[in-house]
Amino acid sequence: MSNLNGIAASNGIAIAKAYKLAIPDLSFEKKKVEDTQNEIDRLTEALEVSKKELEKIKEHAKVSLGDEHAEIFSAHLLVLDDPELINPIKDKIETEQVNAEVALDETAKMFIQMFESMDNEYMRERAADIKDVTKRVMAHLLNVSFPNPALIDEEVVVVAEDLTPSDTAQLNKEFVQGFTTNIGGRTSHSAIMARSLEIPAVVGTKEVTEIVNDNDLLIVDGIDGDVIINPTDDQIKVYEQKQADFEKQKQEWAKLKDEPTVSSDGQHVELVANIGTPDDVEGVLNNGGEGVGLYRTEFLYMGKNELPTEDEQFDAYKAVLEQMGEKPVVVRTLDIGGDKELPYLDLPDEMNPFLGYRAIRLCLERDDIFRTQLRALLRASGYGNLKIMFPMIATLDEFRQAKAILLEEKEKLTKDGVEVSDSIEVGIMVEIPSTAVIARQFAKEVDFFSIGTNDLIQYTLAADRMNERVSYLYQPYHPAILNLVNNVIEAAHAEGKWAGMCGEMAGDSIAIPILLGLGLDEFSMSATSILPARTQIKDLSKKELVSYKEQLLNMDTAEDVEKFVREKTNQ
Ligand code: PEP
Ligand code: MG
């Protein structure tokens, strides 16, 4: 038995055996071979096993994730059947008398390089497919096990170095009881996905993959951030009790599901949810969300091998809007980059991806991608209460350009006789300090602000949100953050606009009283945080919290702020 501590990323307790999700060591030696037929047979066998596996994964993915996500596996299957790739591998074995591993590796690399250097996007996507498939075939040649998260069919806790959003999207909630990773923080995208899937998670443990073996029994305590490896019977009993208490607490919270969010002195605020896919809407409604405050559309673009078409996007946006009815839905345009990659766009590696070519920067340059998304959104606008916001806005000029493109597409659609809503509010995310500082100027032109503290904190304190070594600097209660947030809210209100927050800070029990006192209008959080937040706000007096505002803004440190709030709100 041993314990590890990490960051509590998604509430709840999971008890199940470990399933390690790690790409195995695929290194091999170059060998001269006499019996080339034997190598060709080994290759054929590895190809066959890979094919069977991929067919199974594709079927699973179809059921659990839908046809679209399953498509990527069809593309992988095509690669395995492509004689233009397979024959040269066999030829190489015969003519150069090398082992199958070498022939596979060298031939695949040659095709990958060739496709990657082509101008044609479709061809570049094939390079990504070949890369993926080669790893699987190589694992079978080397006889090492290759993880298949989509095939998990028994209760497990997934253990990984990190989980990419597309790995997370493949996890079947029915079997995956929880997960734990070496890296990441509360605002890394794997943690965010875990919360929308309502799977308990502990991230940033630094070494869980080194300590845990497949099939070890694990307890993941997503409430306090602990991972217990091979627990004793007594520990299991303690955590089963904790699990039961948590379920009871959830039932208490659920009593407020259909109530508005009102402070003890009668002030109303809106509690809305962050979502990543149309499937998350059910969780929003079950948890009493009054709307969607952030729809992260990039997940539509991930876990597949080509850009989603206008119609695919239209279907997704329409599904969300229709299910939410009259409730507002704030859709964020594509925010790719940082820890969210799109391999098929084949963007060059960058030294500082979070400060690089991402989000609105990419969309303004690749306006073909941007326009497709905007058209899909505009077409869907008649099906509900749509608001659009642009991510990572650093300058007014960016906002003006993005809005101009939106208006151009709207005009084109209207000319073509397509119905587009006339009441779509257009806002921005405030996640870059420059924008928070001159929020007054922005407020004249935008319809609303949504403060993205996940990024705003990392940029203001210059502390990578993914790096647990500097997580001590990732301080939501830092007076600098409170002053920036206050500046944005005051600027919005001075122009009669509203200000929301869709970073994780909006659902934090220490931050909530502060934000209520600063006058935040809309709090957008993981769906599972809504009912605890509503319960908390019910007992808070907004008037009292407003009276602490100046004092809080002038404090010296985040610790001072936290201590003060804990004292005043009995936490
Ligand atoms: C944010 O930065 O606060 C935000 C909500 O966006 P994301 O977490 O997707 O970067
Ligand atoms: Mg962000």
For residue 316, the domain's CATH number is 3.20.20.60
Let me know if 363 is a catalytic residue. no
Rounded distance between C-alpha atoms, residue 110 and residue 98, angstroms: 16
Is 28 within a domain?
A: no
Q: Which residues contact 235 (CB under 8 A, 6 or more apart)?
A: 1, 219, 228
What separation in Å is there between the alpha carbon of 423 and the centre of ligand 1? 25
**Beta 201-203 vs 176-181: how paired, if at all?**
parallel
Among 121, 142, 163, residue at a domain's last position: 142
Asked if 293 contacts 529 with a C-beta cutoff of 8 angstroms, the reply is no
Among 210, 242, 274, residue at a domain's last position: 242
What separation in Å is there between the alpha carbon of 274 and the centre of ligand 2? 12
Rounded distance between C-alpha atoms, residue 263 and residue 269, angstroms: 8
Determine if ligand 1 sits within 6 Å of the CB of residue 296. Answer: yes
Determine if ligand 1 sits within 6 Å of the CB of residue 101. Answer: no
What separation in Å is there between the alpha carbon of 497 and the centre of ligand 1? 21
Among all bound ligands, the one having the nearest atom to the CA of 332 is 1
Is 31 within a domain?
A: no
Which residue among 272, 275, 301, 335 has the greatest number of ligand 1 atoms within 8 angstroms of its CB, and so is best to mutate?
335
Determine if ligand 1 sits within 6 Å of the CB of residue 527. Answer: no
Give yes or no: residues 16 and 106 share one domain. no
What separation in Å is there between the alpha carbon of 452 and the centre of ligand 2? 5
Is 250 within a domain?
A: no
User: Which protein residue has the closest C-alpha to ligand 1 atom 6?
Assistant: 452
Give yes or no: residues 359 and 495 share one domain. yes
Among candidates 546, 479, 481, which has minimal Cα distance to 518?
Answer: 546
Give yes or no: residues 550 and 448 share one domain. yes
Give yes or no: residues 11 and 119 share one domain. no
Among candidates 190, 187, 118, 120, which has minimal Cα distance to 159?
Answer: 190
Determine if ligand 1 sits within 6 Å of the CB of residue 69. Answer: no
Is 27 within a domain?
A: no
What separation in Å is there between the alpha carbon of 355 and the centre of ligand 2? 11
- Please list the residues that pair with 427 across neighbouring strands: 389
Asked if 290 contacts 261 with a C-beta cutoff of 8 angstroms, the reply is yes
Rounded distance between C-alpha atoms, residue 236 and residue 213, angstroms: 19
Determine if ligand 1 sits within 6 Å of the CB of residue 298. Answer: no
Using the atom order of ligand 1, give the atom closest to the CA of residue 296: 9
What is the number of domains present in the chain?
Answer: 3
Is 302 within a domain?
A: yes
Is 30 within a domain?
A: no
Give yes or no: residues 430 and 320 share one domain. yes
State residue 262 phi and psi, 5-degree precision: -135, 135
Is 29 within a domain?
A: no
For position 482, what pLDDT does the model report?
Answer: 98
Determine if ligand 1 sits within 6 Å of the CB of residue 431. Answer: yes
Which residue among 502, 504, 529 has the greatest number of ligand 1 atoms within 8 angstroms of its CB, and so is best to mutate?
502
Determine if ligand 1 sits within 6 Å of the CB of residue 454. Answer: yes
For position 399, what pLDDT does the model report?
Answer: 98
Q: Which residues contact 340 (CB under 8 A, 6 or more apart)?
A: 165, 189, 298, 302
Is 247 within a domain?
A: no
Enclosing H/E stretch for 229: strand 226-229
Range(s) of the domain holding residue 281 = 255-569
Tens digit of pLDDT at every position of the chain (571 positions): 679 999 999 999 999 999 998 778 899 999 999 999 999 999 999 999 999 988 888 887 777 666 766 777 888 898 999 999 999 999 999 999 999 999 999 999 999 998 888 877 677 777 878 888 899 999 999 998 888 887 888 999 999 988 866 577 677 788 999 999 998 877 777 787 788 788 999 999 999 999 999 999 999 999 999 999 999 999 999 999 999 999 999 999 999 999 999 999 999 999 999 999 898 999 999 999 999 999 999 989 986 778 999 999 999 999 999 999 999 999 999 999 877 778 788 788 888 889 999 999 999 999 999 999 999 999 999 999 999 999 999 999 999 999 999 999 999 999 999 999 999 999 999 999 999 999 999 999 999 999 999 999 999 999 988 787 888 999 999 999 999 999 999 999 999 999 999 999 999 999 999 999 999 999 999 999 999 999 999 999 999 999 999 999 999 999 999 999 999 999 9
Half-sphere exposure of 512 (CA within 13 A, CB side): 27
Determine if ligand 1 sits within 6 Å of the CB of residue 333. Answer: no
For position 208, what pLDDT does the model report?
Answer: 94
Give yes or no: residues 97 and 204 share one domain. no
Determine if ligand 1 sits within 6 Å of the CB of residue 452. Answer: yes
Q: Which residues contact 563 (CB under 8 A, 6 or more apart)?
A: none
Determine if ligand 1 sits within 6 Å of the CB of residue 328. Answer: no
What separation in Å is there between the alpha carbon of 392 and the centre of ligand 2? 7
Cα Rg of the chain (Å, integer): 25
For tokens 């069977």, name the residue: 52
Give yes or no: residues 165 and 202 share one domain. yes
Q: Which two tokens stand for residue 293?
A: 């405050």
Q: State how far Cα 498 lies from the chain centre.
A: 26
What separation in Å is there between the alpha carbon of 3 and the centre of ligand 2? 32
CATH (domain of 210): 3.50.30.10
CATH (domain of 62): 1.10.274.10
Q: State how far Cα 76 lies from the chain centre.
A: 24
Give yes or no: residues 523 and 450 share one domain. yes
Let me know if 189 is a catalytic residue. yes
Strand order across the 226-229 sheet? 2-5, 226-229, 217-221, 13-20, 156-160, 176-181, 201-203, 7-10
Give yes or no: residues 266 and 205 share one domain. no
Which residue among 429, 432, 523 has the greatest number of ligand 1 atoms within 8 angstroms of its CB, and so is best to mutate?
429
Cα–Cα distances (Å) from 19 to 56, 157, 161, 209, 392, in that order, read 19, 6, 12, 10, 36
Give yes or no: residues 483 and 555 share one domain. yes
**Which residue out of 140, 189, 363, 478 is catalytically annotated?**
189
Helices (H), 325-395: 359-365, 367-380
Give yes or no: residues 213 and 360 share one domain. no
Among 127, 142, 157, residue at a domain's last position: 142
Give yes or no: residues 496 and 564 share one domain. yes
